[in-house]
A and B are shown apart, each in its own frame.
Chain A
Amino acid sequence: MAPNDSAQATDEARDLGAGRRKAARYLVPVAVAGVAAATIGLVPALAAAGDPSLPKISAQQLIEKMAASDTQQLSGTLKISTDLGLPGLGSLGSFAPKGGGSDKSASPDAKLTELASGTHTLRVAADGPDRQKVSILEDAAEYSLIHNGNDVWAYDSGSNQAYHSQRSAADAAKEHGKKTPDAGVPTTPKALADQFLKNVDPTTAVSVDGTAQVAGRDAYQLLIKPKQSGSTVGSVRVAVDAKTGVPLKFTLASSAGGKAVVDAGFTKVDFSKPSADTFSFTPPKGAKVTQDDGKQKQTFKPEQSLPGGLGGLGDAKNTKVIGKGWTSIAEFDTGGKGIPKAGNGKGGGDAQTFLDSLGDKVSGKFGSGTVFKTRLVNALITDNGKVYVGAVTKDALIAAANSAK
């Protein structure tokens, strides 16, 4: 084997047996690649196979457990995938309304719009109600939102900009309410669970649907399903940690099936106290700091992130709600303008084309109009200026418009 001179090599190569042995060597890289492919294919399947066996509990007990949870300290990594079926919110960012401040400021609401599409990795840390931190991990950069006492800092390492606001209650941190565990609940957990179940009972089925492993921890799955038909929400699943009662995973499935609309869950979680310097932040030298002194109130309205000018419709007069529970539809009367021209001049053209690309012309007893569809929220704007918005199917919207007369 492995001859040292070429003459010998040629001789051996002619030897059939040696030739075969040499060919067999190529099996090594092939085998390595095969084993690797098998591992990549099998490991996730094996990992997903075992649901933990936990003592059976009722939905009531599980909600009590969640309410009784007094976890104040945790740190972990979250993964959030959102698929609203929009043609990419990235392009929207350019004309989405912003709560004041320049285009590239590090203010939280501009950044949070980004979370509404695609997959993001977040890191969270919390230590009591006064200290929280949320970081959005980006390629070689990070956007951090730090709440420490009265200070709220936001730091965007990509552009080296910081945002500072002093508030007693941190609105910004509260927007992440579902990621940070609720602070202590005043009423008794049992009463709370009772009340909750009673309130939702006519419209919603709440049950415990087996167990799951989330972030290496055993969890119960709370399944929340609308009883009414016509909702775009198929089901909401919340995985609740069996030990601490902290929600670990949140999945919102569309009634039309397919990929989950929102899938947010811990991939790693640790319930020990995060180190204190996690929450300390001093803006680095030279970083541009935007101060928010509270004069320009930065309220983050969810509707501001709705496509185009739809957000502005919230101010329209004659707002009423049709139906209740999951299929409730909000009705606005914009005063006979039809599809509103997106306001504030700049970017209006973009908004218009964006709206048109989403739109779907429909007609019925109510006249005719345009339906804008996402996987979760649909809106019908009639030509006589009525707007119907809800987490319901297109047919339910049209039915509501028909019966509204």
Chain B
Amino acid sequence: MSRAEVVEAPRRGPEAGPERRPSVLWSLGLFRSELITVLRRWRTLALLAVLAAVPILIGIAVRVDTGGRRGGGGGEGGPAFLAQITNNGLFLVFAALAATLPVFLPMAVGVVAGDAVAGEANSGTLRYLLVAPAGRTRLLLAKYASVLAFCLIATLVVAASALAVGALLFPLGEVTTISGTQISFADGLLRAVAIAGVVAVSLSGMAALGLFISTLTNSGIAAMATTVGLLITVQILGQIPQLHAIGPYLFPHYWLSFADVLREPVYWDQLVKNFELQALYVAVFGSAAWARFTAKDITA
């Protein structure tokens, strides 16, 4: 924040500057300070630690379980890709992402996104943030960008932890895609990175929703609880067969489509639908958050 003041100190009023260059610099600085604030919180670190622990838990469980009996099976009921882990550690990355995507990852994102504005208001720091001539729109964008960055970081933490555990406990090697064809390990690794990217993008709609809820209240706890509660509600709605008509419009509906990256050739239909749906949620709730935040009375 202090960096920002230096850049644009003489200017008054956020809407005044049509110049591009300083505004870009400004936004970057704002984004960086936001991201650092997010990542420095103990809460965030604890969330990331929990996320990193999930693959470790899965890895050890699979290792212990298959210590006695060899061979497949066990694919029933558990998260996808569980059966392949013993043969290729890389599959732990996919299994861990499949296990964390329905609950852990969105919960972490919900906490961070819900906290983004409401948390500042709660601790009374929001008004001070706005004293800096950044403008509310830009501040909101910086907040959203930092939440998106957290989505990516959280996904990468799960993937990296899973890869480390997978390499440690299981053999690595050529990857059999779920279509049955074989690809090299390097190619498999590339697909793992792509999958992490897809998972991060899958969370962007949820992040926008959380940010919008965050602008509605001055209580950080309330915003987080609402966001996570909404996530659970939507997940339940998606499970009810009688409501299958609305299913395709719920943001978690295409989340598991990331597995389509592992088909050979890659099956894009569901992935594209997922991206479209997430973009729609970002557009609707992002603009709703903007409408609310720029028109809101900041009293705390």
Binary interface profile of A, 129-158, with partner B (CB < 8 Å = 1, else 0)? Answer: 000000101011110101000000101011
5 contacts between A and B (CB under 8 A): A32-B284, A153-B180, A155-B180, A159-B72, A160-B87
Given contacts A26-B288, A287-B72, 19 further A-B contacts (CB under 8 A): A4-B13, A5-B131, A6-B299, A25-B290, A25-B294, A28-B288, A28-B291, A32-B280, A36-B283, A139-B259, A140-B81, A140-B98, A153-B180, A157-B84, A159-B83, A160-B83, A160-B84, A284-B176, A288-B71
CA gap between A155 and B173 in the complex, in Å: 19
Q: In the complex, which residue of chain A has the Cβ closest to the Cβ of B263?
A: A142
CA gap between A26 and B180 in the complex, in Å: 50
Contact B14 A285 (CB under 8 A): no
Q: In the complex, which residue of chain A has the Cβ closest to the Cβ of B81?
A: A140
- Please pick, from B73, B84, B256, B288, the residue contacting A139 in the complex, using a CB distance under 8 A: B256
Q: Please, which residues of chain B bring their CB within 8 A of the CB of A1?
A: 15, 294
B residues at A contact (CB < 8 Å): 13-15, 70-73, 75-76, 80-81, 83-84, 86-88, 98, 127, 130-131, 133, 135-137, 171, 173, 176, 178-182, 256, 259, 263-264, 267, 269, 280, 283-285, 287-288, 290-292, 294-295, 297-299
CA gap between A38 and B299 in the complex, in Å: 38
Top 10 closest pairs, chain A to chain B, by CB: A140-B80, A22-B295, A140-B259, A25-B291, A284-B176, A286-B87, A29-B288, A157-B178, A160-B83, A159-B75
A residues at B contact (CB < 8 Å): 1-2, 4-6, 9-10, 13, 22-23, 25-26, 28-29, 32-33, 36, 77, 104, 123, 135, 137, 139-142, 144, 146, 153, 155, 157-161, 267, 277-278, 280-282, 284-288
Total A-B Cβ pairs within 8 A: 135
- Per DSSP, chain A at the interface is mixed
Q: In the complex, which residue of chain A has the Cβ closest to the Cβ of B127?
A: A6
CA gap between A1 and B88 in the complex, in Å: 58
CA gap between A1 and B13 in the complex, in Å: 9
Contact B130 A277 (CB under 8 A): no
Contact A160 B75 (CB under 8 A): yes
**Least distance between A152 CB and chain B CB atoms (Å):** 12
In the complex with contacts A1-B294, A6-B297, A140-B181 CB distance below 8 A: no
Q: Please, which residues of chain B bring their CB within 8 A of the CB of A32?
A: 280, 283-284, 287
In the complex with contacts A1-B15, A140-B81, A159-B83, A135-B291 CB distance below 8 A: no
- Please pick, from B130, B263, B290, B299, the residue contacting A137 in the complex, using a CB distance under 8 A: B263
Q: Please, which residues of chain B bring their CB within 8 A of the CB of A123?
A: 179, 263, 267
